[in-house]
Structure 1
Amino acid sequence: MTVAIETALPAAADRFERPESADRFTYELMAAAIELIEDQAADHPSLETLAARMGLSPAHFQKLFTRWVGVSPKRYLQWLTLDHARALLRERHTVLDATYATGLSSPGRLHDLFVRWEAMTPGEYARGAEGLTLRWGLFDSPFGEALAFGGDRGLTGLAFTAEVGRGTAFADMASRWPRATLVEDAGALAPWLDAAFQRKGTAPLQVIGAPFQLKVWEALLAVPTGHVTTYSDLARAIGNPGAVRAVGTAVGKNPLSWLIPCHRALRKGGALGGYHWGLGVKRAMLAWETAALETGRDAA
């Protein structure tokens, strides 16, 4: 199906359906458990309370959650708190070199996943991606449902619908390329999403943004998995230390969440700051990466 986004956004958003998966029941159960833990984090719910809400025995819930997420419910809960963010800033704060050269024409490396980085030309960006055909689809991810967009050269957009909803996420992403043509084709994007979330293959990025935004986004690629940075350090990294507010805006406009790791940017005092797809998603990403780093498993 091909749609002109100026006229068919509501219809496309209304048609969204969840993709099928081989282990749908377990996925839905663990997604609900993670959401419950995030919602109740301030109350520090016990294992027994969480298990009862999931309709499982404490032992079975602990075993299933640990196998699926990689850490125990208690440990995951600890990583969702503000204290966790502050500890990351204190212990794993990557101070980016103020003389960091972005080199947008060169390949970028995304944490432990190799990614080909190719930016849209300024002319293409100014024309609102006119003449480009972008494919889109819905996928499961460790952070809930993901909405992906991609062109012939790679992924152009990745959003998360858990907190903002499918229709809002779709309209938000599509508005970034107001003159592109959208085609629903999840199959064409599936290999790239496997690379993004399951470390199977390579995820090329066709990055679409203004030159200043591109500099900020590539600086984010230099922050390792399980580490964080600050908006002021990002500003210094791109050679513009006075542009902290503009850097924050560029971080928020990142079209490829998770792949370009804007979730690793924190405020100077350790607060999470904002996150375009919801703070619950950002907390989950930081917790997931901490689990990956501390347990030695792949972050993806």
Structure 2
Amino acid sequence: MIEDQHQFNYNRIAEVIEYIKNNFKEQPNLEELADQVHLSPFHFQRLFSEWAGTSPKKFLQYTSIEHAKKLLTDNRATLVETAFETGLSGTGRLHDLFINIEGMTPAEYKNGGNNLSINYSFAASRFGNLIVASTSKGICHMAFNDDETIALNDLKLKFPNANFQKKLDLIQQNALLIFQNDWSKLPEVKLHLKGTDFQLKVWETLLKIPMGQLSTYGNIAQQIGNVNASRAVGTAIGSNPVAILIPCHRVIQSTGNIGGYMWGETR
């Protein structure tokens, strides 16, 4: 009986997800989505969040912004046309959507980070030398590398059109305190991440791993609502742009093996 109910709920949420993918340009509200599976908005919100790992509103935003990103990347539309083609009322809503999810404006995304100012610096830690970079919105990159030239080139590849300045700012200083076991400033550290909606979802889940504890690829897949996505989760974890702060080092294989680490298993 329980299995039947689980299958029934799975089918209902799958139906709504398909509906959102086909009708996101209409920007359906919570009541409209709940009506698709004959639930009250309250119960639908709770059930959808339980199965999809995010709210219906956020899922609609992710779906909308993926469409907008494709239009902008392919240079197929202006910002006004992109907003219209995505079902948004204007460029203001498009701007807010990109700021909230991508951490940059639609124009910055379209131009590959053009006019985006990034400060970077190099630091020594107990785990080796690293590069840390930040925008005005937060830490956008932290990686171990003993070769400063290679480290800087890797950073520039991620933001090919940004403006770079070698400067240690307060955002970086607060983040680097983690290596001194001073975590008092960590709540003030903001992250400015660029990734797909799936990657962002995985990285957000990593942040919820309790300090000093471990998780597995399977557990992370389960937490994001896709138990069969362990391999995709591993790929997303392997793309983590911020070492230590986003604790990809706390994820191991279910067998207990480390399973690899972007900056070396020894580290």
Q: Which has the higher helix share?
A: 2
- The one-letter code of the counterpart of 1:261 is P
Does the alignment pair 1:256 with 2:256? no
Conserved 8 A contact 1:98-1:238: no
Cα 1:174–1:138, aligned 2, differ >3 Å: closer, same or farther? same
Describe the shift of the 1:222–1:145 C-alpha distance in structure 2 as closer, same or farther (beyond 3 A).
same
Cα deviation, residue 194, structure 1: 4.0
Query: Which residue of the partner structure matches residue 120 of structure 1?
Result: 103
Superposition pairs of residues 85-104 of structure 1, within 5 angstroms? 99=51, 101=53
Quickly say closer, same or farther: Cα 1:137–1:150, change in 2 above 3 A. same
Residue 154 (structure 1) aligns with: 138
1:135 aligns with 2:87: no
Deviations 1:117-157 (A, max 9, x none): 97425845564323211110011223121210100011111
What is the alpha-carbon distance in structure 2 between the residues aligned to residue 247 and residue 126 of structure 1? 27
Native 8 Å contact 1:149 1:157 kept in 2: yes
Closer/same/farther in 2, CA of residues 269 and 98 from structure 1, 3 Å limit:
farther
SS of corresponding position for 1:145 = strand
Q: State the 1:98 CA deviation.
A: 7.5
Greater displacement, 234-243 / 208-217: 234-243
* Residue identity in the other structure for 2:112: G
Tell me what 1:89 maps to.
Answer: none
Q: Partners in 2 of 1:102 and 1:191 — Cα distance?
A: 32
Residue number in structure 1 paired with 2:161: 179
Q: Which amino acid aligns with 1:101?
A: G
Rate the CA distance shift 1:141–1:279 in 2: closer, same or farther, 3 A: same
Larger radius of gyration: 2
Please give the alpha-carbon distance, in whole angstroms, between the structure 1 residues aligned to 2:125 and 2:256: 26
Unaligned runs of 5+ in 1: 1-96, 106-116, 282-300
Match of residue 223 from structure 1: 209
* 1:192 correspondence with 2:174: yes
Q: TM-score, normalised by structure 1?
A: 0.51
Q: Is the 8 A contact 1:220 1:261 kept in 2?
A: yes
Q: Check conservation: 1:102, 1:219, Cα contact below 8 A.
A: no
Tell me if the contact between 1:100 and 1:237 (Cα under 8 Å) persists in the aligned partners. no
CA contact (8 A) 2:122 2:148 kept: no
Q: Secondary structure at the match of 2:128?
A: coil
Q: Which runs of 5+ in 2 are unaligned?
A: 1-48, 59-99
Identity of aligned residues (%): 33
Q: Distance in 2 between matches of 1:275 and 1:135?
A: 26
- The yes-or-no answer on 1:145 pairing with 2:129 is yes
SS for the counterpart of 1:186 is coil
Report the Cα distance in structure 2 between the residues aligned to 1:118 and 1:260, rounded to whole angstroms.
17
Secondary structure in 2 matching 1:207: coil
Which residue in 2 is equivalent to 1:276? 262
1:269 deviation in Å? 1.0
Specify which structure has the bigger relative contact order, considering alpha-carbon pairs within 8 angstroms and separated by 6 or more residues.
1
TM-score w.r.t. length of structure 2: 0.57
Residue type at the aligned position of 1:146: L
How many aligned residue pairs are there?
Answer: 172
Contact 1:173 1:255 in 2 (8 A): no
1:244 aligns with 2:230: yes
